Structure 1
């Protein structure tokens, strides 16, 4: 009790207005937090109704965070071993753990809702760590609460059950979920059903319990549907319950009068989850024609569901929709969203389409259309916060879940997927509305009709009968509204130009000119922020047309200034495409202003980042934790947009070294600022700027070397440890174009090698990071020949474990790169590398390496770079005197020579394939714009059958990839197969694994400039054979006539540069 009083006093002081008192309280808390009994005493305070609510809340938050950080012993141990161990929290005493478990459930029951959230989160941490093995009686205790006659205990039991289900929700293992579901779900269903027939059914307390029951069920079906839930008895009972909750009218007197409060009231949250769950049961498990292969086991359930239960859901939803249209019931925004989502899911399966089809016209014209018309709340939102209006009405991410966006998505789907039955009636309806304006239709209704057009844009553009009349439609009904006195009509008209403008065939130059003029007026003359944003998107669409480009060219710099100003106002990333397109189309016109533009964007970028740093939280490691779901996230995305636009400016200056040098002076302070602030979310785009600056200039400035030092420190000692892959291209360029500096500067070499060593040895990094480290070693060994002798043993030692027989903790891609690095080391210094291999690998190490490399890995090399490394490495080995060769090499010289011949023979074909790939890549880039403009003609055949489209293909792709990754993880957990080492030509047993991802990274390097591109390997081979003929008669004498004939054939091949002509005349 003394401990509890002491803790109560400490937590009271943490809320004191006096900062000195708060600081002392925090110091006092640190002194006692490791003592036995502290967490149990705090839970007693949280549960005490007599304690001050502020104290109880502070204690609940502390307990939650303490459990999250310290309950799992491994995590605590990891903290203790870190550099911040002295400031880390002490471990939870072992003797406290049973007591804490015993107190958590009673505390959860005793808490009011504002405390339950924190206690439940702490409970969830313990459940994920200890249930079921270390907490076997948890289910029994939860079951006792759920079966109680006391509402507070029932609610607490269901809340605890939610944490149990949450701990399994992303685990696709029915063996874990099945017993929990079978033991508790019938009970909570019975509780819910009983509540729906109780006299107090409309009360918020009942709504809260029903909401929690549905949340448990919803979490249980995220990744799987248990056998119990698939049974007819379960799905029928739960289905009836869900439909009752979704459709049940609630006494208005029991609900808040304010609509915003009603949206989040317990009963409407319950209705939201009822609709969500019904939709999920259908879309993921109950739709047989749309099931991907990884869910094929649900086919029998799906067949039952689509024929017996899906129609009931549709019927219920249609009744709700009809009542809403007539004003007989009120639906929350989330309910409306989920109704539209279900209707959309019903479009592709023929069974549900047949039921939905008769109602489509009514749904669109009486339910979709009113939602797309301007309403008073839209005007109010525009006036209250224009930026927030843009976020909710234009930004695709923020509009997800918005009922208006869902209505538009449903319309887009029906006209695209069921064109024959649905498209023309909706188009006729739109035409009737715009023709009746302004005589009998309001501006809001015309805006709704234009919004419907935007939703149907792809179908209208690709429909043979409609696409040819679009220009006339725009001239009559859209372009005039660009100068409308009604701001919403200007907003809608700009949005329509943005959607159609680039892909329409403008036959009349006058119409296009009029459209462009109206859009420019909206972009520059109006003070209405949403209109200017949509106008910017419209300009981005129109500049694909030559005549618009010609008209805009003289004003490109002014327009770019307007976009930059708009970006600063908006602090979102919606204008990235428009800015990048203008930079791309008008690079010459913008060239004189490039430095000014980049300076402006740098200033905006730094301001946005500073504002984000001023808010949010700082993590334990000192890095900033951004909340990407609020305005702070918008600022970060806007900062990323600024970086991407700067990148576009830099790429437009390719071949202009003087301009790049000037721009670098603006960019480097921005990069230094990002690194100093540990703004890791921005590292990826920031390092892209360094990559393009170093690659295009082909030289390294003094300022860039300072950035190199900062990058190294960030990786070695700061927040950048997870960003080696993003840094890699810049490091590659620094070594490639700053070779002499590295040769002269030992400290720079030490930093570079330190990065490699840390990446290969840190437990914090992944196998993918080790591949990046190998890529770094590749360029170091090939370009710094003779300058890093001391590093060769370390590099060889670090890659050997990934090459060894039966190596665990590796992947085929990492094994391939490890072999390549060892071959690089042979290129660097064959004698030193072989000595190291013999000393580190023990008896037979050299033979084992060459067996694996030449028998399994090297034959699967595809890139020219890899093949040249192999050729030069093998020639370096064969150039050694017999005295410098280990016994295994001397015994296998003929096999090595045979592998060399095979590798050299394959180089011309590899060069040809790389050239073809580069040409195909360029052609693909050239075709992108044309592909965007010319869509497929709408197909109106088979309008009544099941539809499988690109969405299904994508889901199937994800399913196959998930299966592959799970299989790969299972193999890795079981260890790798041992390789056959019977001789230098042996083959490994992991061939299938190797095939899966042997060349995962090959497609990344179509424009890779290899340090060996200019190396004449065939000339070197001819020189080698001359050397062997004069000094190694013993070896040459072993070769038969056929072998010598192969040598002559290879020696006659010319050296050809990748992407060029023969090197030899």
Structure 2
């Protein structure tokens, strides 16, 4: 690769001639994969004689090439990946560190360190064994530039391994022992207690920033034994305290404004020092937060840390806050946030609470409260960019890096965890501010009311405070609706809304009316943020029937205002408000639901278009030299689109209460019933015409985050209309195309809609075989693609089940593929849910066409049908072999179909036990009632989930608060739900690791036992059992009906949650009465083939004869309920 030519090409990309620039870019792309390209780029990057802009363009291109193609997953190669030649890979590892050390600009260093991280992740230590010794040598150098390069490389090692595997957990402590003593010694030299520093203070801060960042990454998930030693923790603790207390020397200032100070290395070093101290305390040094599974490793350290080290951290932090409050020192927002977080962490442990308690109310009034005032910057944003203000303010307290958010978190933590001693003090402070009369400024009043907003949940669950909130609102909130300050009107809306969300009680109807009338009036406020907050708060009052009644006359205007505000701001919170109004006023709004949906769809298409345009513009700028599409931020638009689709689903859900079910005759050729069909409201058909275009547009734009919402709409529309209209079929083609390209991971989201296509649009598949080909390909891919897992394979089986049930008689040519693919998967998995899904699929092939399926099983392996029957009957007679109603009904219906077979089509290997088919059916019927009861309980629990969640939201804090109030030792250690949650996560993690290890060991043991070349078929390899002729499970099981032991019961028990009924998919089996189906089959057999009937019934034991009589006497629930009661004797 000619370096001069390459340099000229990159220089041309900065030229003014568009054609030449474009030609140069195309040539660079063409030669980008050539051997020597990356080596030549490194020569250009390191050439100090060249223009810096050319070198920077080269390093960006270099980084993009390395990041895309240094590691290529063989199972998932991407179109833009081309392997990097071995010579270039070697040259990169030999030269990238010297390049980094000599880098003339931060931009070049950033790109090179990103490449080093990729190299470390993929090659260290096996293919880059000398890296660690190189780093130690660099760190020990007398040249500061070399040392800094070593610091950056070492940092990238710990970035790569901060969340490490068991293998890496052994590697990292070795690196820590070799490098960290050098790092801490270097850090202490940079903050000398006497003598001149080796570097100017601002340069030293850059070194310290990297050193402390490295230490923080090293303790992300583990604290090594070395780091727990006294010498290590004292040395590093001393350094961390020194950095926290660093002060700029006289005459040294930071350039730029406060926003630039935030980004300066001086404050980055302080941030990493504070962050590291917090991490040490919160994860390893706080005994109340050490999960039980980790206590053996860290509890001794924590007990020492919380009493010996945490008090010093508290002292240092308090000193910094005193300087900050007194105006003697500035503090960056991130540092202030970290201080708040530490003080919050000190509330639960007894040792640190004793330190914090004397200062708690002072921290509330002098530290937290000032953060909640509005400042000139916020007021300016409110006035000059209201849309941006709304987007900022609506989620302000969710920004975990914001001091305002941290202040609120501290207040909530204090008010709940130490309620008895601190809660009333906080409220007294708020009242003192608001009762100051004319002396109180709008900024202070705003902060006080913001504290009420933040503490609303705690306030409204306090039996002493709750009754006083009506008077509080009358005196301090309602007057602010007339304030000349827009921010005060906004916070007044917020207070009423938050308190109303917790069922604020109004004893005086006039006050109540004044409150919601004020919100309605505020929806016409001249300031957009006030209108938005008024709308959201008004939605919180809809639980009150008197409010709903009063809003009825103006409902049309309110809805129009909500749509307008939503279009102006594109925030998903307004979509939630819209949902609330639609749910509460469904009777009034359903007649105009087509217009509502049309408006929602218009908004959706507008936002989607804006998002697509943003992406397209970014792609147009992507010349592989300086653009990274991954950095493109479209979250706001995405959340807005999700909110709109959720509102659309709410409108569709309102039709449920109006749609009646009516029975439809069961007249399909197989004897299976069609579903109970809904009396479809004509309006929903009009609505569907509006929604299908947004589904198509979403899938065509390929916004991954919106795939699930699009397919959820497909499911909803096809299910509610019980049909597939012509306009919907292109969506099936789009779904198939996406599955074969970018959406292979979304089969679970596609599945309900695909099954509905088959259930309600089977004629379309018959008329267009290409549709059938698509779903068959999806099935095969789900089972054979190495990129997909067991859960995807289970979904693939659900899909093919729907295909066979709904296209009976139309896919004979596909049955061999289905059976062979299923047998292969069955034989290679140990997953109980997947084995069951495969078993069900094979059963359905028999139901689809018994003779064809049996021939195919025997063609797959000699005596394959007999092997399958062995496993099937083992499952029938096992307690958990067919655990669900669906499994049992499939087996019953399929055995009935087998009874109808011509005996000439029955394989010789099965004829011996054929007379026992009825016995098999009876064994399954025995477990059916219990399975139906479990399914009904599961269905009921799902139906009650939403109500239970609402009750939980209201009750959880009641319980927490009550527990705190009743706690006798208010100054002791606090172990609460958070502690229990951390314990649960740690315990579950340990269980999952143990379970996985057990499964691996079991698989290895079985593989060793099975050996090689056994001659067994794939199905036989899947389950251990007798396969030797006459002693088969098939002949024994159908002859005796005896229960058989399932050797994998322990595994099945552990995976029981994976074997629940699937309530998300409807099949034609669901509405079939298995008892009636069996009765009709037996009656038909008696008439058509008396000899077979005689054989299958006389072979029953006495107990089985009794069971048969009970089954034949069974009546459907509705018929049984109408039957006259049996008189008592």
What TM-score results when the alignment is normalised by the length of structure 2?
A: 0.88
- Which residue of structure 1 aligns with residue 361 of structure 2? 361
For 1:418 and 1:1003, the matched residues in 2 are separated by 45
1:476 matches 2:475? yes
Question: Are 1:803 and 1:849, in contact at CA under 8 Å, matched by a contact in 2?
Answer: no
For 2:34 and 2:767, the matched residues in 1 are separated by 57
**Structure 2 unmatched ranges of 5 or more:** 660-679, 1007-1022, 1027-1031, 1038-1043
For 2:865 and 2:292, the matched residues in 1 are separated by 45
CA shift in 2, pair 1:920/1:637, >3 Å = closer
* Residue 386 of structure 1: how far off its partner (Å): 2.7
Question: Are 2:433 and 2:444, in contact at CA under 8 Å, matched by a contact in 1?
Answer: yes
- Which residue of structure 2 aligns with residue 96 of structure 1? 88
* Residue 843 of structure 1: how far off its partner (Å): 4.8
CA shift in 2, pair 1:90/1:924, >3 Å = closer
- Which residue of structure 1 aligns with residue 1055 of structure 2? 997
* Residue 8 of structure 1: how far off its partner (Å): 1.0
* Residue 434 of structure 1: how far off its partner (Å): 1.1
- Which residue of structure 1 aligns with residue 372 of structure 2? 372
CA shift in 2, pair 1:397/1:460, >3 Å = closer
* Residue 273 of structure 1: how far off its partner (Å): 1.2
For 1:731 and 1:187, the matched residues in 2 are separated by 61
* Residue 105 of structure 1: how far off its partner (Å): 0.5
Pairing of 1:435-514 with structure 2 (within 5 A)? 435-437=435-437, 439-502=438-501, 503-514=503-514
State which drifts further: 980-989 or 174-183: 980-989
* Residue 969 of structure 1: how far off its partner (Å): 4.2
- Which residue of structure 2 aligns with residue 149 of structure 1? 142
* Residue 547 of structure 1: how far off its partner (Å): 0.8
- Which residue of structure 1 aligns with residue 528 of structure 2? 529
Question: Are 2:575 and 2:647, in contact at CA under 8 Å, matched by a contact in 1?
Answer: yes
For 2:226 and 2:527, the matched residues in 1 are separated by 56
Pairing of 1:776-791 with structure 2 (within 5 A)? 776-791=799-814
Instruction: Give the number of equivalent residue pairs.
Output: 1048
- Which residue of structure 1 aligns with residue 663 of structure 2? none
Question: Are 1:684 and 1:726, in contact at CA under 8 Å, matched by a contact in 2?
Answer: yes
- Which residue of structure 2 aligns with residue 756 of structure 1? 779
CA shift in 2, pair 1:397/1:472, >3 Å = closer
- Which residue of structure 1 aligns with residue 986 of structure 2? 959
- Which residue of structure 2 aligns with residue 350 of structure 1? 350
SS in structure 2 of the partner of residue 836 of structure 1: helix
* Residue 478 of structure 1: how far off its partner (Å): 1.2
For 2:289 and 2:1061, the matched residues in 1 are separated by 32
For 2:128 and 2:387, the matched residues in 1 are separated by 50
For 1:620 and 1:414, the matched residues in 2 are separated by 50
For 1:505 and 1:1058, the matched residues in 2 are separated by 49
- Which residue of structure 2 aligns with residue 698 of structure 1? 722
For 1:621 and 1:735, the matched residues in 2 are separated by 42
Question: Are 1:612 and 1:626, in contact at CA under 8 Å, matched by a contact in 2?
Answer: no
Question: Are 2:916 and 2:1099, in contact at CA under 8 Å, matched by a contact in 1?
Answer: no
Question: Are 1:803 and 1:815, in contact at CA under 8 Å, matched by a contact in 2?
Answer: yes
* Residue 183 of structure 1: how far off its partner (Å): 0.9
- Which residue of structure 1 aligns with residue 819 of structure 2? 796
For 1:849 and 1:43, the matched residues in 2 are separated by 66
- Which residue of structure 1 aligns with residue 1078 of structure 2? 1021
State which drifts further: 120-129 or 951-960: 951-960
- Which residue of structure 2 aligns with residue 816 of structure 1? 836
Pairing of 1:161-310 with structure 2 (within 5 A)? 161-173=154-166, 174-197=169-192, 198-199=196-197, 203-251=201-249, 253-296=252-295, 297-310=297-310
- Which residue of structure 2 aligns with residue 909 of structure 1? 930
- Which residue of structure 2 aligns with residue 1048 of structure 1? 1109
Higher relative contact order (CA 8 A, sep 6+): 2
Map Cα deviations across residues 605-637 of structure 1 (whole Å, 9 max, x no partner): 222222222224559999xx9979876221121
* Residue 553 of structure 1: how far off its partner (Å): 2.1
Question: Are 1:813 and 1:1000, in contact at CA under 8 Å, matched by a contact in 2?
Answer: yes
For 1:550 and 1:382, the matched residues in 2 are separated by 33
Map Cα deviations across residues 347-385 of structure 1 (whole Å, 9 max, x no partner): 122222222111100000111111112222321332343
* Residue 16 of structure 1: how far off its partner (Å): 2.5
Aligned-residue RMSD, C-alpha:
3.0
Question: Are 2:804 and 2:844, in contact at CA under 8 Å, matched by a contact in 1?
Answer: yes
- Which residue of structure 2 aligns with residue 431 of structure 1? 431
Pairing of 1:914-933 with structure 2 (within 5 A)? 914-926=935-947, 928-929=949-950, 932-933=953-954
Question: Are 1:391 and 1:398, in contact at CA under 8 Å, matched by a contact in 2?
Answer: no
SS in structure 1 of the partner of residue 2 of structure 2: helix
For 1:989 and 1:802, the matched residues in 2 are separated by 20
State which drifts further: 373-382 or 788-797: 373-382
State which drifts further: 746-755 or 221-230: 746-755
CA shift in 2, pair 1:833/1:187, >3 Å = same
* Residue 93 of structure 1: how far off its partner (Å): 1.8
SS in structure 2 of the partner of residue 420 of structure 1: helix
Map Cα deviations across residues 398-437 of structure 1 (whole Å, 9 max, x no partner): 5221101110111011101110011011111111111113
CA shift in 2, pair 1:971/1:561, >3 Å = farther
Pairing of 1:61-72 with structure 2 (within 5 A)? 61-72=60-71
1:43 matches 2:42? yes
CA shift in 2, pair 1:1057/1:339, >3 Å = farther
Map Cα deviations across residues 855-877 of structure 1 (whole Å, 9 max, x no partner): 38773544322221122223333
Question: Are 1:602 and 1:666, in contact at CA under 8 Å, matched by a contact in 2?
Answer: yes
State which drifts further: 362-371 or 164-173: 164-173
1:590 matches 2:648? no
* Residue 896 of structure 1: how far off its partner (Å): 5.8
- Which residue of structure 1 aligns with residue 1068 of structure 2? 1011
CA shift in 2, pair 1:500/1:887, >3 Å = farther
Map Cα deviations across residues 999-1030 of structure 1 (whole Å, 9 max, x no partner): 4263651x754412332322333355564874
Question: Are 1:774 and 1:818, in contact at CA under 8 Å, matched by a contact in 2?
Answer: yes
For 1:344 and 1:444, the matched residues in 2 are separated by 25
Question: Are 2:840 and 2:887, in contact at CA under 8 Å, matched by a contact in 1?
Answer: yes
Pairing of 1:628-643 with structure 2 (within 5 A)? 632-643=634-645
